[in-house]
A and B are shown apart, each in its own frame.
Chain A
Amino acid sequence: MLMESSPYGIEKKKLGMWVFIISDACTFAAFLFAYGYMRVGAPVWGTPFEFSSILNGMLMTAVLLSSSLTMLAAVRAAQAGTKASANKWLGVTMLLGAIFAALHLREWFKLIGEGWRLFYNPTGGAAQFGATFFSVTGLHLTHVVTGVIALGFIARGYNQGRYDESHVETAGLYWHFVDLVWMFVFPLMYLMNAQ
């Protein structure tokens, strides 16, 4: 009762992930559009980030960028069929993702400690700063954390032989996308708000 596989078959998980990425990009775009709209409309915006925050952001960027490289290494290893090496690189990628999240949360807590809220700006500028900063970076952070957890499941399944290299590749697509989004979020949310 088996049917022949479709002559048009592309690897369906990868195609699905590309479609998801297109849609998720629109979601981020809407958040960033709201940010731009708020920012342009505000009489006084205020740019609170000191050098230390920018430095932290640059560190986060470096960590996330390297995690894309390690993800690439994991995909290469999986394609080459070297399971142990693929698993090692997946682990490193997860670790870097976790470091990114930790650095990010440190930044958040610092801001919250200084009195920033979703609805409050301690420097007296537009209250929308907190609203846009926390929601845009929060959305991105959620993606990173979800990614780390998903990588954990993929690594486990791959290790046990339930998943194959196509799963690793698909996870890689997601991971690079999350990295790419950060390349928009970082300049727009950090660099443009440097003192």
Chain B
Amino acid sequence: MEPMSAHAATHHAPPQGFIRKYVFSVDHKIIGIQYTTLSLVAAFIGMALSWAMRIHLGWPDAHIPLLSMFSPNGAPGGLMTPEYYLSLMTMHGTIMAFFVLTAAPMAGFGNFMLPIQVGAADMAFPRLNMASFWVTFVGFVLACATFFIPDGPPLSGWTAYAPLSAVGTVAGPGQGWGQNFWGLSIAVFCVASLLGALNFIVTTLDLRTKGMTLSRLPLSTWAWFINAWVSLLAFAVLLPTCLLLVLDRLGGTSFFIPAGLVINDQLQPHSGGSPLLFQHLFWFFGHPEVYIIILPAFGIVSHILPTFIRKPLVGGWKAITYAMIAVGTLSFVVWGHHMFVSGMSPFMAMVFSVPTLFITIPSVIAVLIWTFSLYRANMRFDTPMLFSLGFISLFISGGIGGFFLAQPSTDSYLHATSFVVGHFHFTMGLSAIFAAFAGFYYWFPKMWGRMMNETLGKVHFWLSFVLVYCVFMTMHLTGFAGAVRRYSAFVDDFMVPLIPTQRFISVAALLLGAAQFIFLFNAIWSRFQGPKAPDNPWGATTLEWDTTSPPPFDNFGGRQITVYHGPMEYDGEASVMQTSPEVSVAGT
């Protein structure tokens, strides 16, 4: 074997020409930026969809002229039909869960930072890396294309429950080609995620520089590494799930469609399938998926906190890493808690509720580590720190709701209400978004070589933080009151008194969306006009801060990197770079 093959990536010179450099680039930094940008675009599309939903929920008679241009059938005269509401909701959930939350914190920041943090020049398989991005892009285009095909996007939610998702147009608009596109889009997304996970795993194991033992990995790298394993196993099951779904739809099989199913007075020509099989397969992926979304957030926050509290996390690298490994592992044995009221055997509900209560233990340990670490800390409240604190707050608030949902008895009431919507937006939606914002503000100087505006950052944080609570805490309350999830309007009997509350949520949601434009402005303006960033603006210790901002093509300009310390060498003002041979200040 030629000795250099592990670093084949360093052999080639920087590419020339716009296409090779910025479009079909094999440079992990460019790919990271491509993923981040894709996620940003997706996030704003997803947010626009949530606005349309919220306007309709608050003012069910409101006409939204823009919508009728988009879909004359879905929103005649701008007034959306209940079916079109479901289409918007499906695409909102799909775009946010897959193309924003799965993509940004892992594929976006991870691609850019992981190779640098382990001291490598690129990912282990740069061309595969490029393929993952472009395959993701195709998946995203397929998802967005559903808006432009005649009967619009599917209705079956991001979970695509069968049999609704498995039968055709007889079940409603969007269940024809819309659902086919959806299945293909997600199948393609699975392939991209699998390739990405493979790359992350091999890079972390294989390309670490001298002295970068596992115990010295930055916690963000640990999180991406653990998360790559979880993704690898989970997406490997979602892929066949999508394939079987597509077979049911296009091949005439009946994996997920039971016998004697009558839809709109038409007997379906299927027999012997099981919708529960779909739920088992989907949630075997789906529950790990929510941790796939949150683990990089754990990592980003654990990586950022020590810099701004100027001391190591309580329990060192081990406590938080073991907690993340435990969360990742347990996430594969709790999927049935999404199926308590699905008609599954009640005994199985018991079986799944026990590990569900166990999985809260490592999550609580993680939360305790972060909060105890703040005790007596010499904190700096820069924007990345604020968003990290916001993440901790939201994660705790959402987690408390989880205790109610983990009980089959309380869940039978709460399952189909907006309580669940509030819960998962706190835990997986906004927690992950806040962590991604923390990462964005923290790494922006490194990725683009300029500083972001702190004042705008703080305004963005406080507005988002308060409004997020207004929106999703209130959804918990309307859920208690019985507001049914996935209804397009609350105009009947007991839900009428909730209308003012619904309006309150809607107004808060629109303001929350508006606040995100402060962020967008800040990012774009700073990209071009921000002050030049120094190499290490936050006084951090990990390798990405030990090179220029932005880093050169091979990350360290040909320097041979040797690592002497763990990632959390902080003691008040004093700190020691991982690469510095000086003595440890934190005793790690």
Which residues does A use to contact B, with CB under 8 Å?
A: 1-12, 15-16, 19-20, 22-27, 29-31, 33-34, 37-38, 41-42, 117-119, 126-128, 130-131, 135, 164-166
Contacts and interface: CB of A to CB of B under 8 A. Distances in A.
A16 B255 contact: no
Contacts of B206: 6, 8-10, 12, 15
13 contacts: A1-B557, A3-B558, A4-B560, A5-B3, A6-B208, A6-B210, A12-B124, A12-B125, A26-B232, A27-B236, A30-B241, A34-B281, A118-B247
B281 A33 contact: yes
Nearest to B190: A27
B34 interface: no
B5 A1 contact: no
Contacts of B194: 23
A24 B197 CA distance: 13
Given A2-B11, A30-B281, A119 B205 contact: no
Given A4-B560, A6-B210, A15-B201, 15 more contacts: A2-B558, A3-B209, A3-B558, A11-B6, A23-B197, A23-B235, A27-B237, A30-B236, A34-B240, A37-B277, A38-B272, A117-B252, A118-B252, A126-B271, A131-B253
A8 B201 CA distance: 13
Interface of B: 1-7, 10-11, 120-121, 124-125, 194, 197-198, 201-202, 205-210, 212, 232-233, 235-237, 239-241, 243-244, 247, 251-255, 270-274, 277, 280-281, 284, 554, 556-558, 560-561
Per DSSP, are chain A's interface residues mostly helix, strand or loop, or mixed? Answer: helix
Contacts of B232: 19, 22-23, 26
Contacts of B271: 126-127
A74 B251 CA distance: 40
Q: Which of A6, A33, A135 has the most CB of B within 10 A?
A: A6
B239 to A, nearest CB: 6
Given A27-B236, A31-B240, A41 B272 contact: yes
B240 A1 contact: no
A134 to B, nearest CB: 9
Contacts of A27: 236-237, 239-240
Contacts of A2: 4, 7, 10-11, 558
Given A23-B232, A26-B236, A8 B274 contact: no
Contacts of B255: 34, 38, 128, 131
A175 B210 CA distance: 34
Contacts of A9: 6, 206-207
A6 B272 contact: no
A37 B274 CA distance: 9
A128 B274 CA distance: 11
Contacts of A10: 205-206
Given A5-B7, A6-B207, A9-B6, A23 B1 contact: no
Contacts of B277: 34, 37-38
Contact of B233 (A5, A23, A119, A135): A23
Contacts of A130: 253
State the 5 A-B residue pairs at the shortest beta-carbon distance, nearest first: A26-B236, A119-B252, A9-B6, A131-B253, A1-B558
A5 B10 CA distance: 10
A19 B121 contact: no
